[in-house]
Chain A
């Protein structure tokens, strides 16, 4: 496979296998630590929502709680790679927990995401290509709103639960795995129906206030972060040019399980999240790095919208 050969060739030029093997060592402690921090924050912002009930403070509290819930995408992503924990069952249990809260079918995501790693930034092949050029402000705003993602994920969830697999999914999900995709969607829908039934039985709005509403409004934050990973990078299979690492502060890095070191992650996805910082130290001058943080990446994109607009007017 051409894309794969290029990835391996570039990786071998950048870092020897002996070094990668050291970086790739797995443990359970780092993942448990990050997870504890994550759930501590979720409880904290959930408590803020509770305190704000009945006042206007509920608006920022729900947004904040939603942002923290949205960062659950990070452990979901890491566990989908199987690199969050050394122990397979622990990895799978956390994958399921995060997927249930995040409302994302976990195994489906694993197949979908694997395809993205094979065909990163290859137009019409990369199934997670965010905002290919030319990008307009409108496309950017629609993407960052997260609405399209909700539409896509919910349609997969309910279609799978009804036993329907879109023909386009055959490209990345092997046919022998389709029954499993249907099963997982049915389990998820059954759990959600159970939660809804309990909420109705007890007359409780808690699932809406502490989970659904924050999840919906918080998705924008996840999308905003994800724009920085590949958007505006070169198209093609060169991992040193098609993915961007965004340097940011330790709090954001921890919250996103070191996903901001995204170029390193794509260069070698078997290096676990907790070793990406060290990996970055070894390859930072060979991959694409934005050192101005997320705002700088987005600002650069805005400059492009303006250039595009002027270009269009002058034509």
Chain B
């Protein structure tokens, strides 16, 4: 089944170090703040803002399969977005990714602007 939304080029694969994260904005008007990760050669994407107090996760630390928030060290499971350790308790939105021509693409639903 086709997922709703549109693929957007987020970042070159080479711009992300292994086991690291970069923050980008995607969408027609750059309305989605997305964190793109490279874990063991595979790319993932989640919302870039922490569900606790909106710190930018792309400033945080990748530890194994988790992203640790830089502000209060709450952890999320990167592939699923699940909140793993307090103070975070609400899951992160995750986005499907694909790699084409050396770039990571992220599937997001565009917001309609008037």
Say how far A169's CB is from chain B's closest CB, in angstroms.
Answer: 13
A177 to B85, CA, bound (A): 12
CB under 8 Å from chain B, chain A span 102-130: 107, 110-111, 114, 117-118
A7 to B61, CA, bound (A): 17
Report whether A117 and B72 are in contact in the complex, using a CB–CB cutoff of 8 Å.
Answer: yes
A1 to B50, CA, bound (A): 12
Q: Confirm or deny: B99 has a beta carbon within 8 angstroms of a beta carbon on chain A.
A: no
Report whether B54 and A114 are in contact in the complex, using a CB–CB cutoff of 8 Å.
Answer: no
Report whether B60 and A270 are in contact in the complex, using a CB–CB cutoff of 8 Å.
Answer: yes
Report whether A269 and B72 are in contact in the complex, using a CB–CB cutoff of 8 Å.
Answer: yes
Could you tell me how many residues of chain A have their Cβ less than 8 Å away from some Cβ of chain B? 26
CB under 8 Å from chain A, chain B span 63-98: 63, 68, 70-75, 84-87, 89-90
Q: Compute the total of residue contacts between A and B using a CB distance below 8 Å.
A: 61
Say how far B36's CB is from chain A's closest CB, in angstroms.
Answer: 15
Say how far B78's CB is from chain A's closest CB, in angstroms.
Answer: 15
Hey, which chain A residues are within 8 Å of B89, CB to CB? 174, 176-177
Report whether A26 and B86 are in contact in the complex, using a CB–CB cutoff of 8 Å.
Answer: no
The majority secondary structure among interface residues of chain A is helix
Hey, which chain B residues are within 8 Å of A270, CB to CB? 60-61, 68, 70, 73
Cβ contacts A to B, 13 pairs, < 8 Å: A7-B71, A8-B70, A24-B61, A26-B63, A81-B72, A81-B73, A82-B73, A82-B85, A114-B53, A114-B72, A118-B53, A176-B90, A269-B73
Going nearest first, the 7 A-B pairs with the smallest beta carbon separation are A114-B72, A82-B73, A114-B87, A81-B73, A24-B61, A110-B86, A270-B70
A residues in contact (CB < 8 Å) with B: 1, 4, 7-8, 17, 21, 24, 26, 81-83, 86, 88, 92, 107, 110-111, 114, 117-118, 174, 176-177, 268-270
